[in-house]
Amino acid sequence: MNFIDNIYVIPWVSYEANNCNTVFIDGPVPTLIDPGHKNFLGNVVNGMAKDGKRIESVKLVIGTHGHPDHIEAADAFDKETMRAIGKAEFDYLNNGGKELYLMTGCEMPKKPYSFYLNEGTLDIGDTRFQVLLTPGHSPGSLCLYCEEKKLLISGDTVFYMGVGRTDLPGGNMEALAHSITRLASLDIEYLIPGHGEAVRGKDMIQKNFTMIMGEFF
């Protein structure tokens, strides 16, 4: 569904259909964020098609973090499609992060990443994002913030009325609290989390951060 301007969301609906929210950014560099499990990629294909978009148009795939329910499908794209993930997360995946793939019977993406993301500016076509490193759910989790649109793509760092779990390999509750405190200081009117419903409205989003800080930390 079209969420705002050139930003589309293929939502998480059930464990039988897909395992995370996928974001499509249309424009000069069509970009897919968190394509999900490879056996559920058909849900993304169908979701894009409802908006008149084709998955074959995707030129860049980004993972907000390295868990299989977010990036396993990265290998489904051809070699011409660029792939990116946080540098800290890549380092984690090549060490303790492998454990989660072994635990779940999933396959780590084998195709190489085109580049790695660190803190700073990332232009996706004509849309400028700030890459924010937000460890806690995993050591190298990142969020993408568009100041112009007041939009935050938060991966599994923060949800509507919830936060990413920290009991998986590499999780750290103290780091997650610091990351969420940082995000709460941003001017956000649109929040697209990795799971659950997207949130519109600055007041609603700030209330969500307040609730989370009180309930979880």
Is the alpha carbon torsion for 194, 197, 202, 203 positive or negative?
negative
Which CATH number fits the domain that encloses residue 189? Answer: 3.60.15.10
- At 84-93, the pLDDT tens digits run 999 999 999 9
Overall domain count for the chain:
1
Q: What is the mean pLDDT of the chain?
A: 94
Give the pLDDT confidence score for residue 14 in this predicted structure: 72
Give the pLDDT confidence score for residue 108 in this predicted structure: 85
Which of 107, 91, 83, 94 is closest to 34 using CA atoms?
83
Give the pLDDT confidence score for residue 17 in this predicted structure: 64
Q: Which two tokens stand for residue 43?
A: 């849900």
From the centroid of its chain, how far is CA 86?
Answer: 11
- At 114-160, the pLDDT tens digits run 999 999 999 999 999 999 999 999 999 999 999 999 999 999 999 99
Helix, coil or strand: residue 107: coil
Give CA separation, 44 vs 55, 172, 214, in Å. 8, 30, 35
- At 45-80, the pLDDT tens digits run 999 999 999 999 999 999 999 999 999 999 999 989
**Residues with Cβ within 8 Å of residue 75, at least 6 apart in sequence:** 38, 107, 109, 110, 111
Give the pLDDT confidence score for residue 194 in this predicted structure: 97
Q: 34 with 155: CB under 8 angstroms?
A: yes
pLDDT band with cut points at 50, 70 and 90 for residue 13: confident
Backbone angles phi, psi at 20, to 5 degrees: -160, 165
Where in the sequence is the domain holding 201, given as residue range(s)?
A: 2-216
Residue 84: strand pairing partners = 62, 115
Sheet holding 120-124, edge to edge: 120-124, 127-133, 142-146, 151-155, 190-193, 199-200
